[in-house]
Amino acid sequence: MLRELPKRSQPNGEPERRWFFSHEMDLIVWVGPDGLPTAFQLAYDKYRGEHLVSWSATKGLIHYAVDDGEQAWGMGQTPLLHANGAINPESLLASFRAEAINVPTVLREFVEARLRQIGAD
């Protein structure tokens, strides 16, 4: 179940972000001064071939595969994101709903609305 991490320092010039963590997912939501969400990143399948869905008003929805940078023979490298269109929106939405019980309603509904748009084009 997603639980909010304690407040962390915010990068200068970046909207406030709220970070929620579980074994299966990470959710970062950027919120405006009014507390309403403006963008998000949702990482899922963190330990089984991690992927990330990112949404912002300027870029829309983008789906990535995450290369964690880990190598069997040495030190890990910086994780990289690779464009990846393969996604099962129904499964992702169901998993998010199960994990997001403790996410504030306005944030949860914002993310759910964008996840429902996947494949609706």
Provide the β-strand partners of residue 53: 42, 63
Q: How far apart are CA 48 and CA 34, in angstroms?
A: 36
- What is the per-residue pLDDT across 7-65, written as a single tens digit (0 to 9) for each? 777 888 889 999 999 999 999 999 999 999 999 999 999 888 888 999 999 999 988 88
- What is the per-residue pLDDT across 67-120, written as a single tens digit (0 to 9) for each? 665 555 555 555 545 566 667 889 999 999 999 999 999 999 999 999 998 866
What is the CB-side half-sphere exposure of residue 6 using CA atoms within 13 A? 0
